[in-house]
Chains A and B, each alone.
Chain A
Amino acid sequence: MDILNLLLQGVSVSIIPANLLSCIIGVLIGTLVGVLPGIDTVSAIALLLPFSYGMDSTAALIMFAGIYYGSKYGGSTTSILINVPGEAASVVTCLDGYPMGQKGRAGAALAISAIGSFIAGTIGLIGLTLLAPPLAQAALAFGPPEYFSLALVGLILLSKLTGTSTLKSALMAVIGIILSTIGLDSLSGISRFTFGIDELDRGFDLSIIAMGLFGIGEILTAMTHADAKPDIPTVKFRDLYPTKEEWQRSITPMFRGGIVGFLVGLLPGPAATISSFISYGLEKRCSKHPEEFGHGAIEGVAGPESANNSAISATMIPLMSLGLPFCGATAILLSGFMIHGITPGPSLITERPELFWGLIASMYIGNVLLLIINLPLIGVFVQLLKTPLNILMPLVAVVTLTGAYSINNSIFDLIWVIFFGILGFLLQRVGFEPSPLIIGLVLGPELERGLTQGLIICNGDIWAFITRPLAATILSLGAIVILYNFVTWVTKLNNKRKELNVN
């Protein structure tokens, strides 16, 4: 077992006191970054880069990696407690995590998401340990036509995440796609739909819209129930942790989420966010009680929170074995490597084995540390919900607005947060779900980019997409699912008609 030996060497590197300490510091900062809305991984690492010059390179990288994967642990906390996603990848956790919190099961949701993060993070790490170079090569087979196919199928399958009306969901997804086209187009460098307003050039940041639709929207909704006395269940210690039934329902979604997240993480784009949505969609399809989703189904927390953590491990694969960062957070990690004179790439594993394996071993250790840090914190966080609404909600508003401002240092963004807050409030009143809008916003740019680039590569012939084996497979999978849905819909309709006739 060559790899086992190397990994053991890595462990010996990572338990040197200095390295262990930087791992602890990294995951602590990461947890904090995840919990606080608006502060993202990229800015946290960028702010700390200058302080790392004096550090040993291995220790510095262990710390930066710790911030990166640690931030996805804490992201779910605010989603579950106050409906404000702490990280873009935890938007989907609002859908079921917050309702769980409202039912007094916040502790269980937090515990499941911490344990799921641990399990899936470890799954991702095992993949990273065993398969990094071959998987990186396999991911390269995906070109623009394949991204287009993935985004298209994803949009069709995911747009109806919650709610009952397909039409309403589709409408929201389309609005999301339209919103995603606003701003400076990343490919053509052209400002679109900005009406000459410079600030619109930046486009809509996912976090800004999510903070508005979910966070501020929830505050406004809570205001309308101002008369109701907040019914705070007294939480016993036993209630902090999941029941046996909740456990049984969560364990498969954790593993499924872990695998889904890992696969999505290999591809360019906001992998952690996309993987959490895919996992949610998958869980709803696999679940025996899909009607519970959106009202506090524990699978809806377990799956996505696991997926985004294993996606993180997977995004390290193209970074470390090809030197290619596929998202903002890995790009800043790459800078962290380079500032210490290390260029990740195909030769990193052979040239600097002690660094590569030390880093991976530290990630195993960091995952355990995060679990140890997060579980006791649950008790503290749940206490927060005992705060009366008239005190809690203004605090939430301040935290949300401060977080939103810190993303781009822009007052303009605050106006949008409030605008989307009002929109979210109104949408909820008339029975529209905001989540398909977020999916449109995330997948819209991927869809457009894949199509534009793919068409140039295929000389403008869209049918050429089908001649590419990978793209064809993805598209036909999508077609089969649509056909299946259509057939079940028709048979259901027929059955109803028969029943009516019999009556």
Chain B
Amino acid sequence: MRRKTLLSVFTCLLVLSIIVGGCTSMENKAIPATSKYPDKPITLIVPFGVGGGTDLVARLLEKNALKYLGQPLVIVNKPGGAGTIGWNEVAGSSDGYTLGMTGVEIILQPLYGQTKYHYLTALDPLAQIAELSIVMVVQDTQPWKDLDELIQYAKKKPGEIKFGHGGMGTTGHVTGEMLAKSADIRLEQVPFQGSAEATASLLGGHIQVLFTNPASVKEHVKNGTVRILAVASEHRLKDPVFANAPTFKEQGLDVVCSSWHGIAAPKDLPVEVKNKLAKGFEAIINDPEFQKNIENLGFEFSYLGPKESQEKWLTENQKLSKTVQATGILDLIKTQKK
């Protein structure tokens, strides 16, 4: 009886492990003949969870893929490790049918710590699709009418102002630290899990300042519960709600930071294949309906071709690596990583 029980448990475990073992995929075949490419669906890896910003942009691409690429896009979410799990898979694939969505994290993550690949050299950009600026907002009940008043206050009472952002090392955090550094003031940072929780905390008066993307505070700026002090981009935002908000640069501070979404392929694809893909994505992205959908989601539409994207990667990399070092974000993260 007892032996029988043991035996049956053992068999069951064996079966379970066979199921799991059988699931490992057989990937990494040879690079395709370029003339026929693509002759099967293309996988687009989203290194973040379903329903996030990156995922939504990827799903918008899906619609016209068949028309412009000749094959459908299959979207596969591989979340985890702030994007690194998904990008490692893109960088390590060589079948020519695995592409990945990219974001500013492909630059930030290697700065914060050792990653399996150096994404800037292991991947080649095919396109940039959209940008997401960072805005600085305060509750309307706060006394500061503009950025200057806030800076004066912070100089008198260092560390009393607390700013919220959507997570350590994200663009919101980097922008806040950039401001503190360039205005020579001390601001305490409060990390939140995503911009919604941070916005709720601002509205409830638990934090005084918030650095976030425009879309998450737009309605509150519109009805006056939240006041916008500055925009961290080169130019003012086009959206009429934000058009009156000055940039940091206009106010004499060099604070520019934005996140963006793009597509990249592994480095070692044949040039013809890359060109074909880049052309296809250019057509998908520049479709007027696609643009409208991107703007509806609160992104700024901003297409860049492969070459311009590559240049942007390099300049951003230089700028961000300087910033995270100078502001102490890198030290903060490195000491915690130990």
For A142, the chain B residues whose CB sits under 8 A away are: 204
A405 to chain B, nearest CB (A): 7
In the complex, A398 has a CB within 8 A of chain B: yes
Report which of B170, B189, B204 forms a contact with A143, defined as CB distance below 8 A.
B204
For A418, the chain B residues whose CB sits under 8 A away are: 13, 16-17, 20
A198–B205 Cα distance when bound, in Å, is 37
A45 touching B162, Cβ below 8 Å: no
In the complex, A27 has a CB within 8 A of chain B: no
Residues of B in contact (CB 8 Å), total 75
A414–B23 Cα distance when bound, in Å, is 10
Interface residues of A in 203-238 (CB under 8 A from B): 216, 219-220, 223-224, 226-227
Q: What are the interface flags for B179-210 relative to A under an 8 Å C-beta threshold, 1 for contact and 0 otherwise?
A: 00000000011111110110111011111000
Report which of A198, A338, A348 forms a contact with B298, defined as CB distance below 8 A.
A338
In the complex, A431 has a CB within 8 A of chain B: no
What are the 4 tightest A-B residue pairs by CB atom distance, in nearest-first order? A345-B219, A143-B206, A202-B80, A140-B204
In the complex, B326 has a CB within 8 A of chain A: no
Report which of A140, A338, A401 forms a contact with B20, defined as CB distance below 8 A.
A401
A50–B80 Cα distance when bound, in Å, is 24
**Listed stretches B49-57, B128-136, B247-255; interface member:** B49-57
Residues of A in contact (CB 8 Å), total 72
In the complex, B1 has a CB within 8 A of chain A: yes
Q: A328-B49, A339-B296 are in contact. List 7 more A-B contacts (CB 8 A).
A: A140-B203, A187-B191, A199-B80, A268-B197, A324-B216, A332-B51, A347-B223
In the complex, A25 has a CB within 8 A of chain B: no
A201 touching B84, Cβ below 8 Å: yes
Residues of A within 8 A of B (CB): 42-43, 45-46, 49-50, 53, 139-144, 184, 186-191, 198-199, 201-202, 216, 219-220, 223-224, 226-227, 268, 318, 322-326, 328, 331-332, 335, 338-341, 343-348, 394, 397-398, 401, 405, 408-411, 414-415, 418, 421-422, 449, 452-453, 456-457, 459
Report which of A199, A227, A345 forms a contact with B223, defined as CB distance below 8 A.
A345
In the complex, B112 has a CB within 8 A of chain A: yes
A345 and B84 contact, Cβ closer than 8 Å, known pairs A187-B191, A457-B190: no
In the complex, B156 has a CB within 8 A of chain A: no
A340–B77 Cα distance when bound, in Å, is 24
A339–B219 Cα distance when bound, in Å, is 16
Report which of B59, B62, B81 forms a contact with A191, defined as CB distance below 8 A.
B81
17 A–B contacts, CB within 8 A, in A order: A46-B51, A140-B203, A143-B205, A187-B193, A188-B336, A201-B80, A201-B82, A220-B9, A224-B5, A227-B4, A323-B219, A326-B197, A328-B49, A335-B56, A340-B296, A398-B19, A408-B79
Residues of B within 8 A of A (CB): 1, 4-5, 8-9, 12-13, 15-17, 19-20, 23-24, 49-52, 55-56, 59-60, 62-63, 76-82, 84-85, 88, 112, 116, 159, 162, 167-170, 188-194, 196-197, 199-201, 203-207, 215-216, 218-220, 222-223, 225, 289, 293, 296-298, 333, 336-337
A268 and B200 contact, Cβ closer than 8 Å, known pairs A223-B9, A345-B218: yes
A409 touching B76, Cβ below 8 Å: yes
A409 touching B196, Cβ below 8 Å: no
Report which of A46, A141, A422 forms a contact with B13, defined as CB distance below 8 A.
A422
B209 to chain A, nearest CB (A): 12
A223–B5 Cα distance when bound, in Å, is 7
* CB-based nearest A residue for B84: A198
Report which of A53, A190, A219, A453 forms a contact with B12, defined as CB distance below 8 A.
A219
A184 touching B82, Cβ below 8 Å: yes
* CB-based nearest B residue for A445: B193
* CB-based nearest B residue for A144: B206
Report which of A42, A323, A344, A409 forms a contact with B78, defined as CB distance below 8 A.
A409
For B55, the chain A residues whose CB sits under 8 A away are: 46
* CB-based nearest A residue for B45: A409
A453–B337 Cα distance when bound, in Å, is 19
- Among B20, B88, B189: residue with most chain A CB under 10 A: B20
A191–B85 Cα distance when bound, in Å, is 13
A173–B49 Cα distance when bound, in Å, is 27
A186 and B293 contact, Cβ closer than 8 Å, known pairs A50-B60, A201-B81, A397-B16: no
B41 to chain A, nearest CB (A): 15
For A452, the chain B residues whose CB sits under 8 A away are: 191
For B81, the chain A residues whose CB sits under 8 A away are: 184, 191, 198, 201-202
For B222, the chain A residues whose CB sits under 8 A away are: 345, 347
For A318, the chain B residues whose CB sits under 8 A away are: 200
Report which of B16, B59, B88 forms a contact with A198, defined as CB distance below 8 A.
B88
Report which of B4, B88, B197 forms a contact with A226, defined as CB distance below 8 A.
B4
B203 touching A328, Cβ below 8 Å: no
For A219, the chain B residues whose CB sits under 8 A away are: 12
* CB-based nearest B residue for A452: B191
For B190, the chain A residues whose CB sits under 8 A away are: 144, 453, 456-457
B201 touching A144, Cβ below 8 Å: yes
B217 to chain A, nearest CB (A): 9
B51 to chain A, nearest CB (A): 4
A493–B60 Cα distance when bound, in Å, is 66
A198 touching B116, Cβ below 8 Å: yes
A456–B191 Cα distance when bound, in Å, is 9
For B207, the chain A residues whose CB sits under 8 A away are: 457
A431 to chain B, nearest CB (A): 18
For A43, the chain B residues whose CB sits under 8 A away are: 50-51
For A224, the chain B residues whose CB sits under 8 A away are: 5, 8-9
Report which of B23, B194, B200, B296 forms a contact with A322, defined as CB distance below 8 A.
B200
B80 touching A324, Cβ below 8 Å: no
B234 to chain A, nearest CB (A): 25
A335–B79 Cα distance when bound, in Å, is 19
A322 touching B206, Cβ below 8 Å: no
B225 touching A346, Cβ below 8 Å: yes
A338–B297 Cα distance when bound, in Å, is 5
For A422, the chain B residues whose CB sits under 8 A away are: 13
A346 touching B333, Cβ below 8 Å: no
A331 and B196 contact, Cβ closer than 8 Å, known pairs A188-B336, A456-B188: yes
- Among A190, A343, A418: residue with most chain B CB under 10 A: A190
A410–B47 Cα distance when bound, in Å, is 12
For A401, the chain B residues whose CB sits under 8 A away are: 16, 19-20
B192 touching A453, Cβ below 8 Å: yes
A202–B84 Cα distance when bound, in Å, is 11
A141 and B204 contact, Cβ closer than 8 Å, known pairs A188-B336, A339-B297: yes
For B76, the chain A residues whose CB sits under 8 A away are: 409
For B297, the chain A residues whose CB sits under 8 A away are: 335, 338-339
* CB-based nearest B residue for A190: B336
